[in-house]
Amino acid sequence: MVENDSDSILQDSKNEDIVFLVVGDPFGATTHTDLVLRARKKGIQYRVVHNASILNAVGCCGLQLYNFGETVSVVFWTDTWKPHSFYDKITANKSRGMHTLCLLDIKVKEQSIENLMRGKKVYEPPRFLTASLAAEQLLEIIQQKREKGEKDIVLAEDSLCVGLARVGADTQTLLACTLEQMTSVDLGPPLHSLVIPGYMHPLEMEMLKQFALNDSVIDMIETLERNSEHSQS
């Protein structure tokens, strides 16, 4: 309704208050900005009540919010559609020393191509992209770039990443490990996010050690700490 029939949300506003409740912050989605613009054009008064969002709650992993670059969306791949654009944005952030928050795809109330063609309103079961599958897709891109002989590949199997699941819930789970390790990790039920760190302050690294998968990851982070201290000395 919001994307295809937003005027129906506004049409009764002359006679009653309309409340539109969303998950996350209202302006985390462009369709919600469009709703505000439509209200303004119609002379409808509105009020926004801001809410917590993964865009700021991601700070729970210890990486400082002002060190994040462009947020990216990682989509479910299909056999015939495997976009790489999210990888390019991650590497652009990393080359500038910035962290990347990867928002993982959500498929809710989706129809199969067959049902769409037949005009059947039959919906597929909900699907939520996991941190492990997102890591698999990233590694597949990296491998393809190696096979093409591309140089300056800034991500690899042993690159550090952070998986986040159900942030803000009692069952919140945070895990720091390599991309390769993340492919075999089960963070449990959705929603998941994935973070690719850039340059890290010692305090950020100290926080990530609290969520390390194992001692080898702690050793890797401590090596990064020593290298950072050496480059600054």
| pLDDT tens-place string over residues 75-88 | 999 888 898 999 99
Binding site, by residue number, is 25, 28, 53-54, 104, 167, 192
Q: What is the phi/psi pair of residue 95, to 5°?
A: -65, -20
Write down the pTM of the prediction. Answer: 0.88
Alpha helices per DSSP H over 42-102: 54-57, 85-95
Taking only Cα atoms into account, the Rg of the chain, rounded to an integer number of angstroms, comes to 21
The structural domain count of the chain equals 2
Statement: residue 230 has pLDDT above 70: no
Q: Which residues pair with 106 in a beta bridge?
A: 128
Q: Give the pLDDT score at 24.
A: 85
Q: pLDDT for 157-175, tens place per residue? A: 999 999 999 999 999 999 9
Distance CA 126, CA 207 (A): 34
Check residues 50 and 4 and name the one with the higher pLDDT: 50
In a domain, 116, yes or no: yes
Query: What are phi and psi for residue 142, nearest 5 degrees?
Result: -60, -45
Same domain, 145 and 194: yes
Q: Tell me the residue range of the domain where 120 lies.
A: 54-232
Structural domain contains residue 204: yes
Whether residues 28 and 120 share a domain: the answer is: no
Residue 82 and residue 106 share a domain = yes
Q: How does pLDDT run across 96-121, given as a tens digit for each residue?
A: 999 999 999 998 877 777 777 777 78
- Say yes or no: 7 and 69 in one domain: no
Residue 72, token pair as written in the block: 């990216």
Q: Is 188 found in the same domain as 77?
A: yes
Is the pLDDT at 232 greater than 70, yes or no? Answer: no
pLDDT tens per residue across span 4-37: 888 888 988 888 999 999 888 898 877 889 889 9
Binding residues for S-adenosyl-L-methionine: 25, 28, 53-54, 104, 167, 192
124 and 29 in one domain?
no
Q: Are residues 101 and 59 in the same domain?
A: yes
With beta carbons less than 8 A apart as the criterion, state whether 208 and 223 touch. no
